[in-house]
Amino acid sequence: MVEHQPDQARFIIEQYGHTCVLEYVITGANVDFTRTYVPFRLRGKGLAEELVRVGLDWANEKQLTIKASCWYVAKFL
């Protein structure tokens, strides 16, 4: 389950004591998704994709202009 932590400007998934993360920066009405990270042992399970989809849905709901400095997020735009 994805948890939004707006005070830390990130979305996370916690599994087996590890944290997967999607980080962002908001400037005015713009959001830049800057980084995704999934620990090695959790890769290949679709967790990064889940983070990105939730993050993009959130940004669209907030009517933010989306930018992706992160190459992985850019694949979804």
Calpha distance 43→1 (Å, rounded): 16
Phi then psi dihedrals of residue 10, to 5 deg = -160, 160
Q: How much is the mean pLDDT over the chain?
A: 97
Confidence of residue 30 (pLDDT cuts 50, 70, 90): very high
How many domains does the chain contain in total?
1
- Residue 49 sits in a domain of what CATH number? 3.40.630.30
pLDDT tens digit string along 42-75? 999 999 999 999 999 999 999 999 999 999 999 9
In Å, how far from its chain's centre is CA 77?
13
- The boundaries of the domain holding residue 25 are 3-74
Tokens matching residue 70: 């992160």
Q: What is the pLDDT of residue 32?
A: 98
Q: What is the pLDDT of residue 68?
A: 97
Sequence-ordered list of residues with C-beta below 8 angstroms from that of 29, at least 6 positions apart, any chain: 63, 64, 65
Average pLDDT on 10-39 reads: 97
Calpha distance 56→6 (Å, rounded): 14
